[in-house]
Amino acid sequence: MSEAHVPPGRFAVVIPVYNHGRTIAQVLDQARALGYPVFVVDDGSTDGGCRRLSRMADVHLLRHAGNLGKGAALLTGMTAVAAIADWAITLDADGQHHPADAKGLMAAIAPGARPIVVGRRTDMQEEGAPWTSRSGRAFSNFWVRMAGGPAMRDSQSGFRIYPLPEVLGLGVRARRYQFEVEVLVRAAWRGMPVVQAPVRVTYAPGGKRISHFRPFVDFCRNSSTFSRLIFRRIVQPKHAR
């Protein structure tokens, strides 16, 4: 894609990591090829996979002493990135995303607009795509809408572009996976546009995929987050949220 399709502004990449030692090196190789600063947030990993990253001069390594959650890692990364960039490109460390697709997300930003851009995963029915991701996406899409958020086709995708510092000012409370749905709802409450663009996804076969999703625990956390947002939507006027 030509540079003419890239919107103006400074970009940086944020990658939250938790025990992704087997995949982070390959993800970093592809992310660095974008040509933007790369920030890796080690969210209390215990596998030692991030140790060698500190020797990479073009990678900014941030660390949490313990595991605080994906949302907390994203906030740490975006807060650091806001000092040097206007936009944060976020992607997962498990290798499912193709960092080169960030150019397509950039192309979805209209001139003068400051949207959240969400990468809509297009290969979710392919072999290797976990059923938890497919069913969880449908569940999340519905409840994001019920909470007053935008109509989404993939509200759980972690491949996104966030405008900074606007997103940091939304007051998102969730600090784990639920950050990525709450931020969409709060963006809609504030009138911030949310757009979607297709991205590829590749899932490792069998049990090789690194995932920290726990169906029961995360279902309870999702339900709690959506209940809180829906309650606030009902009882609090839009201008006060």
Cα(52)–Cα(92) distance, rounded to whole angstroms?
Answer: 19
Q: What is the pLDDT of residue 2?
A: 43
Q: What is the pLDDT of residue 1?
A: 43
Q: What is the pLDDT of residue 136?
A: 77
> CB within 8 A of 76, min separation 6: which ones?
41, 62, 64
103-162 pLDDT, tens digit per residue, is 999 999 999 999 999 999 997 655 555 655 666 788 999 999 999 999 999 999 999 999
| β pairing state of 11-17 and 87-90 | parallel
The structural domains of the chain, with segments of one domain joined by +, span: 9-240
User: Which amino acid makes up residue 65?
Assistant: A
**Residues with pLDDT less than 50, the chain:** 1-4
Half-sphere exposure of 87 (CA within 13 A, CB side): 20
**Hey, CA dihedral for 84, 87, 92, 95, is it positive or negative?**
negative
Q: What is the pLDDT of residue 4?
A: 46
Under a CB-based contact definition with an 8 Å cutoff, are residues 11 and 36 in contact? yes
Residue 56 C-alpha from the chain's centroid: 23
Task: Identify the CATH assignment for 9-240 out of 3.40.50.2300, 3.20.20.70, 3.40.80.10, 3.90.550.10.
Answer: 3.90.550.10
Q: Strand pairing partners for 16? A: 41
Rounded to two decimals, what is the model's pTM?
Answer: 0.89
Transcribe 59-118 into DSSP letters. Answer: EEEEEESS---HHHHHHHHHHHHTTT-SEEEE--SSS-B-GGGHHHHHHTS-TT---EEE
